[in-house]
Structure 1
Amino acid sequence: MLYQIFKKYIFICFIVSFQAIALEAINTKELITINGIADESSWDKAKWYPLNQHILGKVPTKDDFSGRFKLMWNDKKLYLLAEITDDILFDQHSDPKHFYWDDDCLEVFIDENKSGGNHQFNYNAFAYHIALDNQVVDIGKNHSDGTTNFVLLNDHIKSKWQRGKVAPHKMTWELAIDIYNDKYSDNTAIKPVKLELGKELGFMLAYCDNDGSKEREHFMGSTKIKPKNGDKNLGYITADVFDSLILVK
């Protein structure tokens, strides 16, 4: 009897150890200024999460790339603070819609109602690419001729980053993000959703790192993705791979 109970206990522990732990964004009443400094006291209360999961390319050394992030919220916005160490900042395309994934950029994935599912050519979820010039791009609904429609969504995210004074390769990146649901349209004015305590979103953070090549050399994220046909670069296609993000006190 005791042996059976012990076996059941071990099995439960094994299952729990492989379940994803939900991310948490803490509530803030403080006015957050998006300046790349993060000098508000509220940030001190938020938890750091690592940006250390390999998605694409070679696994970089810590000197080449490393990152971590925090999250906060109020009823109007989700706030993100990211510390990124990147020894070479590279932005080869002046057009923000042209091969933006092959430039250095921060990528924020959001599924407002955590419904999961495909979002590659729709707004069931968002894959915001924030460039070094702070412009924001995602893929929208295809053009009428079937070609891909890359859209600027600069009004969705306000961002600012600064280099560190002591460690110049370290960037502090601050973002204020409006959260839109799957009713969002390029042609219709829709207001962001109001955030509230206990809300659960789908979320993932990633960073495209290029040190001077034609294509990005590394792609690192916050979420461990199970490969599909050997491919882990699935976040821009499906929200099924996102983590859970809970809005807490």
Structure 2
Amino acid sequence: MPRIYLALLSMLSITAQAIDVSHTASPPLIDGLNQDKQWQQAKWLPLNQVIIGGQLDPADFTGQYRLLWDSQAIYLQAKITDNILYDNNPNPVEGYWSDDCLEVFIDEDASGGDHQYNFNAFAYHVSLDNQVVDLSTDKTAKLYNSHVTSRWQRQSNPPYDMIWELAIRVYDDSFKDDKDAVPVTLHKDKKLGFMLAYCDNDGSEFREHFINSKDIVPLAGDKNRGWIDASVFDTITLRE
């Protein structure tokens, strides 16, 4: 690998965190209600790094998340305050990055590197109607609803305090759209690349903010690298 590229990867990954994820003996119910005692063993992590947009008002958006795992899936619970929930595109594969959505980045073997139009890693955009979108090898957006189960609940009045829960089945880089795919079996001490983000739109044509779980050293002034390069992800380790 050329030295210049290695140096750029080093810069992009300089703020990477090592995150331990606790095992759960039974999976939490994915219902957005936060009633499962399993979550009590998982620590909250911040979702607060602005990648796109100006300074955030806490009344506009605040977020945190926590993780669990078992052999079948990574479980994610996000606690989000968003004063306006906005979904402008009824077609789930059009303009999905500019609607309010969670974006889950996952790299099965923590190998890093390009994943823009391949399955070296995934960047799942999970919409308010629980549709799951990523780019495929043919450079078009497709639905991957079988990869992620998603449900959320909110308070009835703004600001909308939400609990958003996901079960994420993990696929390796042998995944192909036209083949029957089997998710990997997760195990103790396995390492994965991981990052979480939220696209926040208060009613504009395009999102006003993109908020990340990790700050990213910009490449040519651009921090929005997660959908292209898995080297900017954090590393999570599955623990007992």
TM-score relative to the length of structure 2: 0.92
* Structure 1 position 165, deviation (Å): 6.2
C-alpha contact 1:164 1:172 (8 A) present in aligned 2: no
* Map of 2:174 onto structure 1: 183
Q: Which moved more, 1:29-38 or 1:175-184?
A: 29-38
* Structure 1 position 166, deviation (Å): 8.7
SS, match of residue 43 in structure 1? helix
* Map of 1:212 onto structure 2: 203
* Map of 2:106 onto structure 1: 110
Which whole-Å CA distance do the structure 1 matches of 2:191 and 2:55 have between them?
A: 31
Q: Is residue 94 from structure 1 mapped to residue 90 from structure 2 by the alignment?
A: yes
Deviations 1:34-64 (A, max 9, x none): 1001211110110100001111122321110
Which whole-Å CA distance do the structure 2 matches of 1:205 and 1:30 have between them?
A: 23
Which whole-Å CA distance do the structure 1 matches of 2:157 and 2:90 have between them?
A: 30
RMSD over aligned Cα atoms:
1.3
* Map of 1:227 onto structure 2: 218
* Map of 1:66 onto structure 2: 62
Within-5 A mapping of 1:1-249? 20-142=16-138, 148-164=139-155, 169-249=160-240
- Structure 1 segments, 4+ long, off by >4 Å, are 165-168
Gaps of 5+ in 2: 1-13
Which whole-Å CA distance do the structure 2 matches of 1:63 and 1:49 have between them?
A: 19
C-alpha contact 1:24 1:71 (8 A) present in aligned 2: no
TM-score relative to the length of structure 1: 0.88
Which whole-Å CA distance do the structure 2 matches of 1:57 and 1:166 have between them?
A: 25
C-alpha contact 2:171 2:183 (8 A) present in aligned 1: yes
The 1:195–1:88 alpha-carbon spacing in structure 2 relative to 1, beyond 3 Å, is: same
Deviations 1:117-147 (A, max 9, x none): 00000100000000000000000012xxxxx
C-alpha contact 1:121 1:140 (8 A) present in aligned 2: yes
C-alpha contact 1:25 1:246 (8 A) present in aligned 2: yes
* Structure 1 position 25, deviation (Å): 1.5
C-alpha contact 2:83 2:158 (8 A) present in aligned 1: no
C-alpha contact 1:106 1:207 (8 A) present in aligned 2: yes
SS, match of residue 40 in structure 2? helix
Which whole-Å CA distance do the structure 1 matches of 2:98 and 2:17 have between them?
A: 30
Which whole-Å CA distance do the structure 2 matches of 1:236 and 1:100 have between them?
A: 13
Task: Report the structure number with the largest CA radius of gyration.
Answer: 1
Which whole-Å CA distance do the structure 1 matches of 2:155 and 2:22 have between them?
A: 25
AA in 1 matched with 2:61: F
Which whole-Å CA distance do the structure 1 matches of 2:15 and 2:123 have between them?
A: 24
% same residue? 50
Which whole-Å CA distance do the structure 2 matches of 1:217 and 1:41 have between them?
A: 35
Deviations 1:170-219 (A, max 9, x none): 10000001000000000011200000000000000000000000000000
SS, match of residue 182 in structure 2? coil
* Map of 1:5 onto structure 2: none
Gaps of 5+ in 1: 1-17, 143-147
